[in-house]
Structure 1
């Protein structure tokens, strides 16, 4: 299994796009700082760049530049929900995340995942990954390896083995500044 994660990390490092299981659905991932890789994901999904994408990480340390300007209360909210299926919109005051990931937003959507495959992928890669559902925009997200391989297998560089977690719906999305829940 370690070879799979190392192979996936090498694919990402080379500008590739991978499909992998997350808490509830299959995701597509790549190097957030590689514009061509992100553009490939947007093309696969048929999604406009303006909407922005989620970053997924193995730990808070992998997204530390985003956390530097947060209040103690905001840090506490992250501690209470991470790792786990909560995605937070975090202000990117230093523009650490590229525009092609943030989209038209001043914040970036970030989740520290507890899913073992996501954890290992981010640890092997050593950085956060783009994480967006493995489906075309407006279509249901794929929940099985077979569905992802059949529908998107020709368009990605690797489909990582594994199963989705116990969640029945994609991660909850909350705004860290306002506390507003954008997706429950």
Structure 2
């Protein structure tokens, strides 16, 4: 299959591919998505095939207008409407009880569906041009770091999808917050993202935080809850945010014959880089917004270097720092050094 490299001016061509049941990658404000017509089951199955995605991992549908919600969800509560008013368009997915002509594969057999309205102008224009909601997980091979540039998508999925719209680098750099409002009396964050728990609680009151499954056999209600995610080729080890363990960690890895990659703040890199280390800056110390934007790009960066292990910096779990640590711990399989 030829994967067409499309420009921002090729929206109509991309929409035509989607209407024909093909799969196209497009930029959002979070990461690049891999889109298919959410009402066409054969098209949605192509997403799973291209990514190598587990069949019980549900997809999020993307809409461009609020009036589409009533067509695909029931019991849209006052809390759900409040979240939409405050955070849409933007990096917040709401899980609601499903209805309507959605492809069965989208929801992986669940009675709920995750819906969001992205804020990226290309994404909104594409959805409107297609005339259908788009099912769209991140446009990467399953388990690898999510793509924040069109080049990342091409590296993973060239020859497996019909097109990639190049919209430059994404802004947030991490996937959307997923908020379960299928029971409005118990709102819960299933995946942290660009909208923090504190921001949500400021408009709808108390919100639970449960981004994992209690049982391995339990079906995930949202992406990122069950399977290994965001892992580069090289193993990742997390170093505590206070920086006291960096010298020991580097020595331990080098003594084992590893070529160390430092994925850290400018200050840590300045203090601990050497002729043998490979480095990628996450920005200034304590700047979790920039670190979140650069995390996936950094994880992918080391695949093109001689690094054999990545030492990554932990950040405070405040604001988007919670989402940063969620993704980093998954990339590292919770391994600290």
| 2:116 counterpart residue number | 111
- Which of 170, 191, 205 is the matching residue for 1:183? 191
- Tell me how far 1:95 sits from its aligned partner: 4.8
Change in Cα spacing, 1:168 to 1:146, as seen in structure 2 (3 Å) is closer
2:54 to 48, 56, 59: 48
Counterpart Cα distance in 2 of 1:40 and 1:67: 24
Q: Deviation per CA, 1:157-176: give whole Å up to 9, x if none.
A: 11112124320311000101
Contact 1:12 1:31 in 2 (8 A): yes
Q: Per-residue CA shift, 1:100-135, capped at 9, x if unaligned?
A: 101132110110111111111111112210111011
Give the RMSD, CA atoms, in angstroms: 1.7
Aligned CA distance change for structure 1 residues 150 and 96 (closer, same or farther; 3 Å): same
Q: Which ranges in structure 1 are unaligned for 5 or more consecutive residues?
A: none
Structure 1 pair 61/163, CA: closer, same or farther in 2 (3 Å)? farther
Matched residue SS, 2:137: strand
Within the alignment, does 1:76 sit opposite 2:82 as a pair? yes
- The answer for the alignment partner of 1:57 in structure 2 is 63
User: In the alignment, is the contact (CA less than 8 A) between 1:174 and 1:183 conserved in 2?
Assistant: yes
| C-alpha displacement of 1:83 | 0.8
Match of 2:94 among 88, 108, 117: 88
Q: Deviations over 1:11-36 (max 9, x none)?
A: 00001100111112211001112122
Structure 1 outlier segments of 4+, above 3 Å: none
Give the corresponding residue for 1:146.
151
Q: CA deviation at 1:86?
A: 0.1
Number of aligned pairs?
183
Q: Structure 1 pair 68/105, CA: closer, same or farther in 2 (3 Å)?
A: closer
TM-score (norm 1): 0.91
Partners of 2:72 and 2:90 lie apart in 1 by 18
Distance 1:21 1:107 in 2: 25
Change (3 A) 1:174 1:164: farther
Q: Determine the structure 2 residue equivalent to 1:19.
A: 25
CA distance in 2, matches of 1:71, 1:100: 25
Sort the Cα spacing of 1:63 and 1:144 in 2 relative to 1 into closer, same or farther, 3 A: same
Secondary structure of the 1:50 match is coil
